[in-house]
Amino acid sequence: MSAPSLDPVLSRIDSDISAATERLLELLRIPSISTDPAYKGDCETAADWLVADLASIGVNASKRPTPGHPMVVGHAGPKGEGVPHVLFYGHYDVQPVDPLNLWDKPPFAPELQETPKGTVIRGRGSSDDKGQLMTFVEACRAWKAIHGELPCRITFFFEGEEESGSPSLVPYMKENADELKADIALICDTGLFGEETPAIVTMLRGLLGEELTVKAASKDLHSGMYGGIAMNPIRALSNVIAQLHDETGRITVPGFYDGVPELSDELKAQWAGLGFDASHFLGEVGLSVPAGEDSVTPLEMIWSRPTCEVNGIWGGYTGEGFKTVLPAEAHAKISFRLVGQQDPLAIRESFRAYVRSLLPADVEVEFKGHGASQAGQMETSDPAFEKARAALSDEWPQPAAFVGCGGSIPIAGHFQKILDMNAMLIGFGKDDDQLHSPNEKYDLNSFHKGIRSWARVLDALSR
């Protein structure tokens, strides 16, 4: 059911879609590659383009200098008691384009292409993140055109360094916290679930990295002379690694599961309704059997359960031929994906103590930490989440779901920690958009229905 104020906006979006697409193509022609200093001027140009485009819909926007590429910040919409205030975040920078020879068309000469799965907008940044960013701007444009004013107070916040590690973001947010603070942050940099199920990401896994150097003898030894009597550090390390999971797939580090939340029945039902096909998911990479904890579903394994993975292991002689060496050292890189309230630093301490306890005599270990970020958990009890979920369900053929994200999206955590704001991650990308790769595309359907989705979400949040 749509409110009377919404229907004319949706019609306006439909009739304006080719003009909206033209505007996006214009933005896509600007090669705003943030990591390469050669494109610094283009990043400025993209920021200027956005300032001008926001101004064209009545947003008081400006470019804000940082030590790197500028932020674009703008304000619009009604103010006053009881008027909801949202902040919208997107990024205007893009990934480098190499290898250029794998692109069918020049990456910054975007165009519409017909494919067996429908029309796509092809070009660097079409999905990540210019096309997604513009879905929100276009929804605002249509609302303004029909009603002369936005449905709620909106702060626009665009960054130009997301693809190069966002070095200026946290300092900028801290320095400008008063200006950026709103009731909730909306972030459009994620995807649909499958082809047409809208998704709101409400949990993001954190990450802890540890590098181990296990040492035994004072030098490399000959296995003919020392084999059998000397402890081999590769054997000691392998023994540790073999004990990090038990036979049910649970991680054995003491206290590891402290702070891992139980899923609500409501969320379990939503996830069951997604019809996730684990055998297809695994089959695409040549696997067949989920390897996580016995007691949880495959979706829980990638969204809501923590992991321990060995990312690298080396030591001894690995060159051509053979060398009968007992090496003095063995190495491994081990990472943990974290969920809920798991405390990365407590886990680091516990992991190190546990590893030491598993090592035999004469073996020592040195650790090097590689980053420790807590998981993100959105407060879905905020009514905005159910309002947005209902609004998205009205637009798409499948009902929307709260989903997890196995990877890390730091921006959501920054909004929570620095600005004390909940963040809603809603996006319309698809798994085959080729983000960061040659021939990136954004489905025209994602763009069109994405714009309509934001119009619905803004309408819902403003009521």
**Of 101-109, 125-133, 259-267, 355-363, which segment contacts Zn ion by CB under 5 A?**
125-133
Binding of Zn ion by 159 (CB under 5 A): no
Which residues are within 8 A (CB) of 368 and not within 5 positions of it... i.e. 6 or more apart? 210, 211, 213
DSSP state of 264: P
Q: Treating both helix axes as pointing N-terminal to C-terminal, what angle do 7-15 and 444-462 enclose, rounded to 10 degrees? A: 160
The minimum distance between CB 159 and Zn ion, in angstroms, equals 10
The Cα-based distances of 263 to 204, 249, 403 in angstroms read 14, 19, 12
| Cα→Cα distances 373→336, 404, 453, Å | 10, 16, 31
Q: In this structure, which amino acid lies at residue 173?
A: M
Instruction: Pick out residues in 174-233 that bind Zn ion (CB under 5 A).
Output: 189
- Cα-to-chain-centroid distance, residue 463: 29
Q: At closest approach, how far in Å is the CB of 91 from Zn ion? A: 6
Binding of residue 128 to Zn ion (CB under 5 A) = yes
CB closer to Zn ion, 160 vs 315: 160
92 vs 402, beta carbon nearer Zn ion: 92
- Which of these ranges, 42-50, 124-132, 195-203, 220-228, lies near Zn ion under the rule CB under 5 A? 124-132
Distance of alpha carbon 382 from alpha carbon 184, whole angstroms: 9
Integer Cα distance of 404 and 1 in angstroms? 28
- Per CB under 5 A, the segment of 49-57, 61-69, 129-137, 363-371 that binds Zn ion is 129-137
Give whichever of 129 and 210 is closer to Zn ion, judged by the CB atom: 129
Contacting Zn ion (CB under 5 A), which of 129, 293, 433, 443?
Answer: 129
Size of the site for Zn ion (CB under 5 A): 3
Nearer to Zn ion by Cβ, of 297 and 446: the residue is 446
Q: Is 440 in the site for Zn ion (CB under 5 A)?
A: no
Closer Cβ to Zn ion, 130 or 389, answer by number: 130
| Structural contact between residues 35 and 24, judged by C-beta atoms closer than 8 angstroms | no
- Which residues, at least 6 apart from 125, have a Cβ–Cβ distance to it below 8 Å? 27, 28, 32, 94, 131, 440
Site stretch for Zn ion (CB under 5 A), options 14-22, 63-71, 73-81, 122-130:
122-130
Stretch that binds Zn ion, among 126-134, 261-269, 292-300, 317-325 (CB under 5 A): 126-134
Specify whether the CB–CB gap between 453 and 211 falls below 8 A: no
| CB 84 to Zn ion: min, Å | 26
List contacts with Zn ion (CB under 5 A): 128-129, 189
